[in-house]
Structure 1
């Protein structure tokens, strides 16, 4: 299938069913209509859907984060997902380019994404899209209940 036919769009509250279908393709849980509509209604929450022939093949979840130290917000790329049989065809790159363009429109001064050094496909994707590693350490995240 040709990547030229790829369409990427930011999903809106009117597209809540499409959002649920996209999320359940890549995640083990399905949000409720109420939850996804609430998520999509906040302009700081971003869900981009990549489709080929009206079928989801990728998505990007991101957040516009207000800062205390600058007037400009920053863009956090939380999750970039591409269906396994469509990987390494430029869909991930296209999603990152689309969200970075959106971030610039929204006035974001920078964008960032977290991954583990052991996640080689992600490391290659982020490096190939111009991402610069900020430090040589592996990422460690602590979670609290």
Structure 2
């Protein structure tokens, strides 16, 4: 079983929607409201957005999304992998590695200087996977500045992760 890796374009709204539903399932997101097809087409049309999917038997079984980040210290850009997921039944079959290799090759061919991503410290499964793909591990601290009020943040966390991620701390 070798899936086909496809780079999505602005006409691939159906596949992009399927990928988002895959993310919803794998990341256990609750109550996701799918953006409009117009919005999704706009995202796919952006020159700074990339998405690759793994297709097996006409079904998306994995995929990733990336953002191209222009640099100002050098003339080449970097590529940030925003999301990567593979359906549980298809994990540990090399699909995630194929997706990473596809974005690396694509980025290299365009002269970009690096592909990078981040994962949560608690997600040992993801850390082990990224180590196996021979990336260089760096320790960083991420700061986030939410631009919505606390009630909206609470609703976002509940909708994305469920009640288990909300504490009284």
TM-score, normalization by structure 2: 0.78
Which string of whole-angstrom CA distances, capped at 9 and with x for unpartnered residues, describes residues 95-145 of structure 1? 00001111112211011110122111111111111111112x5x4341321
Is 1:18 the counterpart of 2:15? The answer is yes
Which string of whole-angstrom CA distances, capped at 9 and with x for unpartnered residues, describes residues 37-67 of structure 1? 1111112101111111110100100011101
Residue 128 of structure 1: aligned partner: 132
RMSD: 1.4
TM-score, normalization by structure 1: 0.90
Greater relative contact order (CA < 8 Å, ≥ 6 in sequence):
2
3-state DSSP class of the match of 1:92? helix
Is 1:143 the counterpart of 2:145? The answer is yes
Stretches of structure 1 that go unaligned for 5 or more consecutive residues are none
Stretches of structure 2 that go unaligned for 5 or more consecutive residues are 25-31, 148-169
3-state DSSP class of the match of 1:37? helix
Is contact 2:22–2:85 with CA below 8 Å preserved after alignment?
Answer: no
Number of equivalent positions: 140
Greater Cα radius of gyration, structure 1 or 2: 2
